[in-house]
Amino acid sequence: MDSLNEMWSVVCEDLKQTLGEVIFNVWLKPVEIKSFDGSVVSLSVVDFIRKTLEKNFMDDIRNAFKSQLGLDVEISFVDPEAVEENVQPQEITKS
């Protein structure tokens, strides 16, 4: 993959097929990939969606990375406001 966005796009297509377009559009479309260090993927998302993802979709996200890219990853969420303001992103949670 040439870029983070391409990598995330491949994962999102898998998630859309797995979860259905409506669920994907509500819960995963707003998510943006911010970094990947080889084992930890940092995703930027508002707190309300983060909580739902943690509760309901973490296995689906990890499975999509594994099936599409062959990667076993940990998921880390970052505050989108910190990212937008070009402040060092604070990790909200790692699952």
pLDDT band at residue 88 using 50, 70 and 90 as cut-offs: very low
**Alpha-carbon span 89 to 69, nearest angstrom:** 25
Does the structure show a pLDDT above 80 at 87? no
**Number of C-alpha atoms within 13 angstroms, CB side, residue 16?**
11
Mean pLDDT of 24-46: 95
**pLDDT at residue 52 tops 60:** yes
Q: Output the CA torsion 47→56→92→33 (10° steps).
A: -90
Question: Do residues 19 and 56 lie in contact, with contact meaning Cβ atoms separated by under 8 Å?
Answer: no
32 close to 80: Cβ distance less than 8 angstroms: yes
pTM beyond 0.75: the answer is yes
Average pLDDT, the chain: 88
